[in-house]
Amino acid sequence: MSGKTVVVALGGNAILQHNQTGTAAEQIANVRRASRQIAEIAAAGYSVAVTHGNGPQVGDILLRNELAKDTLPAMPLDVCGAESQGMIGYLLQQSMQEALRAAGLDRPVATVLTQTLVDDGDPAFGNPEKPIGPFYTALQARRLREEKGWRMVQIPGRGYRRVVPSPRPINLVEGEVILRLFSAGVIVIAAGGGGVPVVVGPGGTLRGVEAVVDKDRTAALLARIVGADDLLILTDVEYVALNYGQPDRQDIHGMTVHEAREHLTAGHFPPGSMGPKVEAAIRFLEAGGERATIASLDSAAAALAGRSGTRIRR
């Protein structure tokens, strides 16, 4: 055993691709690909904690609520987030148990349904900008604004969508439980979808809020909580690039925190996609992490060994 520790952050695509319809069978097949990579990483001697996105799944749950709202009460966003953690956690648990067994490893796997503490004074609450859930017509959007007070934005050519705040994660309510399981050798799946955002109310009680915490930001926090050496962020591109999407695109194999910051400032990593991943890598390294790697799902084990993906160092 190398005794090394890693937090693996699975992108939304690892579980459901944009061109798929979202059947259980499709999600199981995708999760199996991810699980084989994670088993390979565990076989290399790593202690592993896993976190994952939930955008497509929570989108489907919200749409299901919308379609059924005349028959059954619609659930608030925090409850939908918890539902998605349970669903994805179940699929991952089962397929990881199978992949570990196939790799000849006897390692327990458990999902911890996680609440992420956020500050109700976070400036994001005054400026909701994360689009979630189904697209609506202009008429529906006006009604939702009036009846529910939702903030709606127009997405050119596709209609209207609800936007919610994306506050920064401060701590994981279940952080201590996660650390205990991780220290005992359990492969922990935690803080799916960034965790359910909660604020501290009067008397110290927790209350779920209508917001979404960025999963890459939460991954950096989770990595700090378990004291990980490595943060491995898996998405659908092989490398982080400069001038992405342009003819002069240049893949980055390695960069320092300083260089990463410069490229961020120069606008190479946009806010809704690559930006939060690079920022999470920077935050993790500045908090004492050894290595941060951004890579594609199918080369996860190779990337962790330094043979693929973009490596960011202090």
Interaction site with ligand ADP (CB under 6 A): 11-13, 53, 235-237, 240-241, 244, 268-270, 273-274
The residue among 137 and 273 lying less far from ligand ADP, judged by its C-beta, is 273
Name the residue nearer to ligand ADP (CB basis): 36 or 268. 268
Q: How far is the CB of 80 from ligand ADP (least distance, A)?
A: 18
Smallest gap, in angstroms, from Cβ of residue 216 to ligand ADP? 7
Cα–Cα distance measured from residue 45 to residue 54, given in angstroms and rounded to the nearest whole number: 28
Active site (annotated) includes residue 13: yes
173 touches 118 (CB < 8 A): no
Q: Any catalytic annotation for residue 130?
A: yes
Residue 139: exposure state from Cβ atoms within 10 A (0-12, 13-18, ≥19):
exposed
Between strands 187-190 and 47-52, the pairing is parallel
Catalytic residue among 13, 30, 54, 65: 13
C-alpha–C-alpha distance, residues 224 and 244, integer Å: 30
Q: Is 245 exposed, middle or buried (0-12, 13-18, 19+ CB in 10 A)?
A: exposed
Count CB atoms within 10 A of the CB of residue 33. Answer: 16
Cα(219)–Cα(281) distance, integer angstroms: 9
The single residue of 89, 130, 192, 194 carrying the catalytic annotation is 130
User: Least Å distance between CB 260 and ligand ADP?
Assistant: 11
Active site includes 277?
A: yes
Q: Which residue has the tokens 């199981």?
A: 28
C-beta closer to ligand ADP: residue 209 or 280: 280
* Nearest to ligand ADP of 111, 235 (CB atom): 235
Rounded to whole angstroms, the Cα distance separating 36 from 51 reads: 15
CB nearer ligand ADP, residue 11 or residue 165 = 11
The residues annotated with a catalytic role in the active site are: 12-13, 130, 215, 277
